């Protein structure tokens, strides 16, 4: 007998020679069966037991640990656990509280105080930082799993709306000028805007009907891709999240809005000069899979002369900016390094963009940003430029720019790029 269903007792053997007795016994048996099933269904559909949680006590504990005049834990401990300085955290709490009334303190349906903005933002940041399940805050914050999940969803939505325009902005003319200067000083590559690459996030709760679309042979589980551009300070200047993990970098590029501003005529005009030649647009460092466009600079797979070998070394060193940015993101925000629990691409995209925004905010707060001030360009009406796409994919410009960069690096005295005699 199955212990899960105790009312299912073995059906008795009824004698064949007494049809009336057999019918009566069968009727009694099934009546008892129905009654016990109804009792079990009533018990299972009863209301969930209410858990009395001390919201005020949870807030007081949080204040005593981190935010009182003499907190229990130091500033360094706070930064380690919250991934940011206390001043930045309190600024975010104040901003989201003013932006969305959901984060404001109020009364629930039983006229009891709701969770404070500090508790709600702490729950969201903890989930982003550790990647742990939502019920982790039940014991410390006295917050249920459902409320913690709502904190994360509302927080990500609010952060994207409140800060996305500044901290996930497209580079302005002021930003581009600073990027040109910083990359030339650091990497000796005039006109460099950043490094372009893609990464994958595991999607644990991918629906069964979508698994074939989001899986690739070199990945064991369904994944979602992120295309990003990072500068030398690890600031993310472009992010496009959502393509299925079965695609490659070229497929993602064809869907990406990376060059949308150039095509509709709203991109700032920022030319640069290298090796006495003037170029109309800056470029991105990429690996070999990307096409030979005028805005991409790739390394030499098999360099021949010393200048090409120097360029290959410098290119590989500079392109590590985006790899470092991905590494910092996944190590700082544990939710990106663990299988995603969200069931929709929209929610995953919101989480990823929130982590990118917080990542850039921390860089600015630490004073490491190349362009910390957002100076907007004058508004420009979008006008479709028929020649823009042709200029973007021009292979002649690609090879000419690559040659000029090789000659430029070869003319500089850079001992760390000198080729050893064994490598020649």
Question: Could you write out the DSSP letters of every residue in 245-266?
Answer: TTS-HHHHHHH--TTHHHHTT-
Residues 268 and 314 in one domain: yes
pLDDT at position 7 over 60? no
CB 156 within 8 A of CB 350: yes
* Ranges 3-12, 135-144, 175-184, 296-305, most confident: 175-184
Average pLDDT over residues 77-85: 95
**What confidence category does residue 233 fall into, taking pLDDT thresholds of 50, 70 and 90?**
very high
**What confidence category does residue 248 fall into, taking pLDDT thresholds of 50, 70 and 90?**
very high
Residue 76 within a domain: yes
pLDDT at position 371 over 90? yes
| C-alpha to C-alpha distance for 397 and 25, rounded to whole angstroms | 92
Contacts of 39 (CB under 8 A, 6+ apart): none
Report how far apart, in Å, the C-alpha atoms of 370 and of each of 176, 180, 197, 308, 403 are: 10, 10, 20, 29, 28
What pLDDT shows up at residue 33? 67
pLDDT at position 15 over 50? no
DSSP string, 44-90: HTSPPPP----HHHHHHHHIIIIISSS-SS-HHHHHHHHSS-HHHHH
| C-alpha to C-alpha distance for 20 and 25, rounded to whole angstroms | 9
Residues 129 and 159 in one domain: yes
**What confidence category does residue 40 fall into, taking pLDDT thresholds of 50, 70 and 90?**
low
Query: Of 143, 166, 189, which residue constitutes the final position of a domain?
Result: 166
Residue 424 within a domain: no
Residue 270 within a domain: yes
Residue 50 within a domain: no
What pLDDT shows up at residue 193? 97
Residues 231 and 359 in one domain: yes
Residue 98 within a domain: yes
Residue 48 within a domain: no
Written as six digits, the tokens of 249 are 């970098």
Query: Of 146, 166, 186, which residue constitutes the final position of a domain?
Result: 166
- What is the per-residue pLDDT across 185-232, written as a single tens digit (0 to 9) for each? 999 999 999 999 999 999 988 999 999 899 988 888 899 999 999 999
Residues 75 and 180 in one domain: no
pTM for the model: 0.85
Contacts of 68 (CB under 8 A, 6+ apart): none
Which residues constitute the domain of residue 373? 170-417
Residues 82 and 121 in one domain: yes
Q: How open is the CA angle 115-119-124, to the nearest 5 degrees?
A: 120
**What confidence category does residue 48 fall into, taking pLDDT thresholds of 50, 70 and 90?**
low
Residues 118 and 265 in one domain: no
Residue 202 within a domain: yes
What pLDDT shows up at residue 364? 97
Residues 132 and 185 in one domain: no
Query: Of 166, 182, 201, which residue constitutes the final position of a domain?
Result: 166
| C-alpha to C-alpha distance for 268 and 377, rounded to whole angstroms | 8
- What is the per-residue pLDDT across 265-274, written as a single tens digit (0 to 9) for each? 899 999 999 9
Looking at the DSSP bridge assignments, the partners of residue 228 are: 197, 239
Residues 202 and 123 in one domain: no
Residues 214 and 131 in one domain: no
What pLDDT shows up at residue 35? 66
Residues 210 and 308 in one domain: yes
Least confident among 37-46, 180-189, 241-250, 342-351: 37-46
Residues 255 and 306 in one domain: yes
Total number of domains in the chain? 2
pLDDT at position 286 over 70? yes
Residue 15 within a domain: no
Residues 275 and 377 in one domain: yes
């Amino acid at each position: 007998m199955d212990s899960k269903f105790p009312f299912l007792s073995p059906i008795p053997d009824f004698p064949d020679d007494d049809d009336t007795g057999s019918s009566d016994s069968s009727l009694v048996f099934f009546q008892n069966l129905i009654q016990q099933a109804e009792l079990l269904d009533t018990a299972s559909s009863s209301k969930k037991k209410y858990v009395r949680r001390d919201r005020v006590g949870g807030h007081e504990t949080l204040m005593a640990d981190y935010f009182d005049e003499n907190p229990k834990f130091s500033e360094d401990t706070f930064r380690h656990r919250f991934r940011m300085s206390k001043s930045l955290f309190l600024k975010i709490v104040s901003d989201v509280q003013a932006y969305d009334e959901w984060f404001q303190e109020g009364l629930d349906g039983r006229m009891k105080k709701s969770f404070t903005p500090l508790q709600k933002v702490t729950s969201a940041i903890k989930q982003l930082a550790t990647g742990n399940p939502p019920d982790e805050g039940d014991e410390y914050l006295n917050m249920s799993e459902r409320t913690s999940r709502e904190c994360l969803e509302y927080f990500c939505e609010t952060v994207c709306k409140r800060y996305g325009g500044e901290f996930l902005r497209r580079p302005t003319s002021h930003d581009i000028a600073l990027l040109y200067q910083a990359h030339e000083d650091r990497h000796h590559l005039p006109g460099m805007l950043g490094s372009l690459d893609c990464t994958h996030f595991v999607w644990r709760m991918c629906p069964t009907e979508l698994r074939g679309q989001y899986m690739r042979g070199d990945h064991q589980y369904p994944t979602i891709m992120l295309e990003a551009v990072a500068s030398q300070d690890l600031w993310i200047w472009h992010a496009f999240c959502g393509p299925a993990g079965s695609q490659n970098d070229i497929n993602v590029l064809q869907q990406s809005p990376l060059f949308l501003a150039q095509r509709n005529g709203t991109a700032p005009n920022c030319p640069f000069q290298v090796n006495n030649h003037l170029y109309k647009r800056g470029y991105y460092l990429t690996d070999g899979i990307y096409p030979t466009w005028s805005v991409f600079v790739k390394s030499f797979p098999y360099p021949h002369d010393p200048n090409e070998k120097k360029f290959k070394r410098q290119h590989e060193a500079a392109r590590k900016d985006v790899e470092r940015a991905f590494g910092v993101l996944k190590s700082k925000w544990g939710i990106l390094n663990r299988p995603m629990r969200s069931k929709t691409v929209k929610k995953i995209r919101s989480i990823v963009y929130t982590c990118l925004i917080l990542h850039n905010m921390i860089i600015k707060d630490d004073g490491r940003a190349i362009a910390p001030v957002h100076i907007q360009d004058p508004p420009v009406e979008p006008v479709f430029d028929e020649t823009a796409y042709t200029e973007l994919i021009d292979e002649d410009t690609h090879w000419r720019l690559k040659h000029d960069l090789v000659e430029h690096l070869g003319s500089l005295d850079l001992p760390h790029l000198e080729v050893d005699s064994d490598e020649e």
